[in-house]
Amino acid sequence: MRKRPSWLQDIPFHSFLFAVYPVIALLAINISEVEFSSGFRPLLLSVLMAGSLILVFRLIYRDWRRAALLSTILLILFFSYGHVYILLKGVNVGGFYLFRHRTLVPLWFALAGLMVWWSSRRSLSITRATYALNVVGLFLLILPTVQLISFSIQSQVSQSNAEKNVSGLHLEAGDQPPDIYYIILDGYGRADVLKNEFGYDNSDFLNSLESMGFTIAECSLSNYAQTQISLASSLNFNYIDALSDRFVPGSEDRTGLDVLIHDSAVRKSLEQAGYKTVAFATGFLSTEWTDADYFLGPGYSWGELNEFESLLMETTFARLIQDGNRFGMQTSGSERFRERTLFTLDKMDELSYIEGPKFVFVHIIAPHPPYVFGPTGGPIEPAAAGTTRTQEGTSHYRDQAIYISSRMMEILPQIIANSDTPPIIVIQGDHGPTIPSNRQRRMSILNAYYLPGVDASIHPTVTPVNTFRIILNEYFGQNLELLDDVSLYSDYDDPFNWKVVPNSCQTNE
């Protein structure tokens, strides 16, 4: 019989493994949406927590291995509480919810006491327990660690296929090039969808756009149903399968999409032509251009939690602090989302102080959830539904769409008035709202163009893949062929298995 490695039996390092595993695993799951650095503080605090527990129990039991065992048990209970709460909080009998904090917390303390008593018994084989926990801890960390390393390596892949389609941008000598505003209103649906599915008639907003000189594509569909894929396509003015051969049906690996967005053909071409890039904080890694010439966002103190930390907190015993709003901390991701969105809305029309031509990329994650705005912009309680699948979600989506529309009607005239040269402005939904079993609605988007000084023909069914082909042709001397407008739906779990969605919209013409 092969002898077990002595170090796995004698050195009780498993507490540190179980302490960092929840952080590493959550990072791996969300790595395409958060910076790896978001996990530094949680990792440090988790290690300190494990070390502190070991020291306390070592003083009590005079045994490092038993101290580590007790520490690991408490760490497992601490990091699993939020998961159990989320799983069971909806269970009710006769309208009484059985598993809320008032019942789950005493149960957790009783379980902790029982496990500490059991682990303190001298009859327990501490050697076997140490070996087993060390091995389990190591195995748990293998998969998320490999995922993080793989993502880091693959993210370096070049995306430059689309750039080859752009020759040097041509600007007339002496002309002041127009600023370009590319404004994404996440999940903003087409007018007929908003009216029929949500009871929201946004004709005031659309009429306001037209009075300013916008052309609205009345029957526009998005090319893709998911934000990352949609923006990777529009910012490189091509379909995803033409940009890379890595995105194939059956694959869930989105690695490379962020690179296509951050280092897009549009951005690189405009920067080479002398444009400065302006971007805003979004909380969504894919659209946070932190390397822009001007990256704008609300300031945060060291003591405030980032989105990843808030998400992690929800899965632990510390969600008691979050749910109870203790200590006046800004612990909710929804609160930060609201603050960040308001910052962007307040600053969008104040960029004229930046000299020279600007490419302004704005991704407002609304009316997409989280739902934090009432129809006049007032705060609301975060909705229990994260999508539009319930009546509550439908109401919150409508209210948020009303508010965003009203703010756009205030902001856009100011952008135009404050610009020395009439700017180019595009307002698009990256996809439509989530409506179960209706792909056509999911793909139906707001799509409006302000293209001053040119006679660009914007047909009613134009899709985002042609947005910058039109702009580059009309303003920068390019001769890019317009692509067929095709909408390709895919589920989130199978993002590259696309199904063509026909455009059945009828215009008023």
Number of domains observed in the structure of the chain: 2
Give the DSSP H or E segment for 282.
none
Q: Does 253 share its domain with 393?
A: yes
Give the whole-angstrom CA distance, residue 75 versus residue 497. Answer: 40
Among candidate residues 154, 189, 221, the one where a domain is terminated: 154
Give the whole-angstrom CA distance, residue 268 versus residue 166. Answer: 10
Among candidate residues 106, 122, 154, the one where a domain is terminated: 154
224, with CB counted inside 10 A (0-12, 13-18, 19+), is buried
249, with CB counted inside 10 A (0-12, 13-18, 19+), is exposed
Collect all residues with Cβ–Cβ distance below 8 Å to 437 and sequence separation of at least 6: none
Q: Tell me if 445 is assigned to some domain.
A: yes
Q: What is the pLDDT of residue 484?
A: 96
Q: Does 192 share its domain with 117?
A: no
Can you state the angle between helices 14-29 and 307-314, rounded to 10 degrees?
Answer: 120
Q: What is the pLDDT of residue 154?
A: 67
Q: What is the pLDDT of residue 160?
A: 43
Q: Does 149 share its domain with 200?
A: no
Give the whole-angstrom CA distance, residue 306 versus residue 172. Answer: 45
Q: What is the pLDDT of residue 213?
A: 95
Q: Hey, what amino acid is at 128?
A: R
- 181 SS3 class: strand
Alpha helices in 273-373 (DSSP H): 307-314, 319-324, 333-347
Q: Tell me if 326 is assigned to some domain.
A: no
Q: Does 108 share its domain with 243?
A: no
Q: Tell me if 313 is assigned to some domain.
A: no
Q: Tell me if 77 is assigned to some domain.
A: yes
Distances (CA, A) of 380 to 100, 310, 333, 334: 22, 19, 14, 10
137 touches 14 (CB < 8 A): yes
425 touches 348 (CB < 8 A): no
Calculate the CA 154 to chain-centre distance: 20
Q: What is the pLDDT of residue 331?
A: 46
CA dihedral 158, 160, 161, 164 (to 10 degrees): -150
Q: What is the pLDDT of residue 162?
A: 41
Q: What is the pLDDT of residue 1?
A: 47
Q: Tell me if 312 is assigned to some domain.
A: no
Q: Does 137 share its domain with 225?
A: no
Q: Does 142 share its domain with 34?
A: yes
Q: Does 71 share its domain with 200?
A: no
Q: Does 145 share its domain with 185?
A: no
**CATH code of the domain covering residue 435:** 3.40.720.10
- Decide the pairing of beta strands 488-491 and 494-500: antiparallel
Q: Does 383 share its domain with 486?
A: yes
Q: Does 28 share its domain with 101?
A: yes
Q: What is the pLDDT of residue 178?
A: 95
One digit per residue, the tens of pLDDT, for the chain of length 509 reads 456 677 777 789 999 999 999 999 999 888 777 777 788 999 999 999 999 999 999 998 888 998 999 999 999 999 998 888 888 776 666 666 666 777 788 888 888 888 888 877 766 688 888 899 999 999 999 999 998 888 777 665 544 444 444 656 766 555 789 999 999 999 999 999 999 999 999 999 999 999 999 999 999 999 999 999 999 999 999 999 999 888 888 888 787 888 899 999 999 999 999 999 999 999 888 898 989 999 998 875 555 677 788 788 888 888 877 665 543 444 456 778 898 999 999 999 999 889 889 999 999 999 998 899 999 999 886 544 344 444 557 889 999 999 999 999 999 999 999 999 999 999 999 999 987 668 888 999 999 999 998 887 899 999 999 999 999 999 998 999 999 999 999 998 899 999 999 998 865 54
206 touches 301 (CB < 8 A): no
Q: Tell me if 21 is assigned to some domain.
A: yes
Q: What is the pLDDT of residue 198?
A: 93
Q: Tell me if 386 is assigned to some domain.
A: yes
pLDDT in tens, 410-452: 999 999 999 999 999 999 999 999 876 688 889 999 999 999 9
209 touches 452 (CB < 8 A): no
Calculate the CA 196 to chain-centre distance: 28
Among candidate residues 154, 187, 206, the one where a domain is terminated: 154
Tell me the whole-structure pTM to 2 decimals.
Answer: 0.77
Q: Does 83 share its domain with 35?
A: yes
Q: Tell me if 369 is assigned to some domain.
A: yes
Q: Does 139 share its domain with 181?
A: no
Domain around 32: 6-154
